[in-house]
């Protein structure tokens, strides 16, 4: 009799014992075809710093997909869905943060906005606790307009910087206005996204040769982004206007509100460990 009671009690504990949460983070790059985003896009220093905010810092993944494609393309959102699903299944993920940069935010919004498009989307949405979108191109960028519709110099500049792709066509401001109106959630006058989507805004580019802060993430990129800023508003990160970055979800903060020394984050710097950005994200997750 006692054995039966003990057996019943053990079965009760097994059935009612709460499932332990397994929390992870996925680093999702922006425009470009990545094969080693850990080193080439984010840098190991950034990834390894941010993931220390997890209860188990080993539970992370760095996405490598072809985001030169339209966001709905199987090589973009399909690839992302495949890699996130593998991450969830292999690590028994119960909750994950998606950390995106630039156009990666649009690919994630495609998944969040179209849960029946792909059978894998629903589980990804259910397992995502929040999206941290670094400099998301939610409303597109005039640079894409210049590359696709501008004069020969503007087009040449686009080719030089590697901006001529289907993903860049997609990020033209009029095209993104259409997608935001009919296909994507989270922008003004549209239903909210099913997952909290919060954006970090990059507001300026510093490239003074005598300023040490201009060298974080590569001085040559700061000079290039200072040039492309001529096509943008005064509040921009060299690739995106602040208004575009604020276009979906909610604003978490604008760079100077929290960065060390109130330094701005250029579009290059917002995916690197510049001015304490990595620590801010680490402490948040």
* Average pLDDT of the segment spanning 70-89: 98
* Average pLDDT of the segment spanning 149-156: 74
List, in sequence order, every residue forming a beta bridge with 26; answer none if it has no partner.
61, 98
Percent of the chain with pLDDT over 70: 91
Question: What are the structural domain ranges in the chain?
Answer: 21-284
- Extract the tokens encoding 194: 């099913």
pLDDT at 204: 98
Contact 233, 241 (CB under 8 A): yes
pLDDT at 164: 80
CATH code for the domain defined by 21-284: 3.40.50.1820
**What is the torsion angle, in degrees rounded to the nearest 10, for the CA atoms of residue 8, residue 10, residue 15 and residue 19?**
170
pLDDT in tens, 35-79: 999 999 999 999 999 999 999 999 999 999 999 999 999 999 999
- Distance separating alpha carbons of residues 125 and 70, to the nearest angstrom: 20
pLDDT at 16: 40
Residue 13 pLDDT exceeds 70 = no
pLDDT at 190: 98
DSSP letters for 29-65: --SSB-S-HIIIII-HHHHHHHGGGSSSTT-EEE---
pLDDT at 12: 46
pLDDT at 111: 98
pLDDT at 20: 83
pLDDT in tens, 131-147: 999 999 999 999 999 88
Residue 14 pLDDT exceeds 50 = no
Contact 149, 140 (CB under 8 A): no
Question: Which residue, among 206, 162, 164, 181, has the nearest Cα to 40 in the 3D structure?
Answer: 162
Which pTM was predicted? 0.92
* Average pLDDT of the segment spanning 197-217: 96
């Amino acid at each position: 009799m006692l054995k039966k009671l003990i057996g019943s009690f053990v079965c009760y504990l097994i059935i009612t014992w709460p499932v332990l949460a397994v929390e992870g983070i996925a680093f999702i790059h922006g425009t470009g075809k990545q094969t080693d985003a850990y080193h080439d896009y984010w840098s190991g220093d950034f990834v390894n710093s941010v993931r220390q905010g997890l209860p188990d810092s080993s539970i992370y993944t760095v996405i490598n997909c072809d985001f030169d494609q339209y966001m709905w393309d199987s090589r973009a959102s399909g690839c992302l869905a495949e890699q996130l699903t593998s991450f969830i299944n292999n690590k028994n993920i119960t909750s994950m943060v998606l950390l995106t940069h630039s156009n990666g935010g649009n690919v994630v919004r495609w998944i969040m906005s179209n849960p029946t498009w792909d059978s894998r989307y629903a589980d990804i949405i259910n397992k995502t606790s929040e999206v941290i979108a670094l400099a998301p191109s939610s409303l597109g960028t005039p640079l894409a307009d210049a590359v696709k519709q501008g004069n020969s110099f503007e087009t040449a500049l686009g080719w030089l910087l590697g901006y001529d792709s289907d993903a860049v066509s997609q990020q033209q401001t009029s095209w993104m206005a259409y997608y935001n109106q009919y296909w994507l959630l989270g922008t003004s006058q549209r239903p909210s996204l099913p997952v909290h989507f919060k954006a970090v805004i990059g507001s300026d580019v510093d490239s003074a040769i005598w300023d040490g802060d201009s060298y974080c993430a590569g001085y040559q990129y700061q000079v290039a982004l200072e040039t492309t800023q001529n096509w943008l508003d005064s509040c921009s990160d060299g690739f995106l206007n602040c208004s575009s970055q604020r276009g979906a979800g909610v604003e978490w903060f604008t760079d100077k509100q929290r960065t060390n020394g109130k330094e701005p984050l250029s579009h290059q710097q917002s995916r690197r460990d510049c001015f304490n950005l990595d620590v801010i994200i680490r402490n948040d997750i």
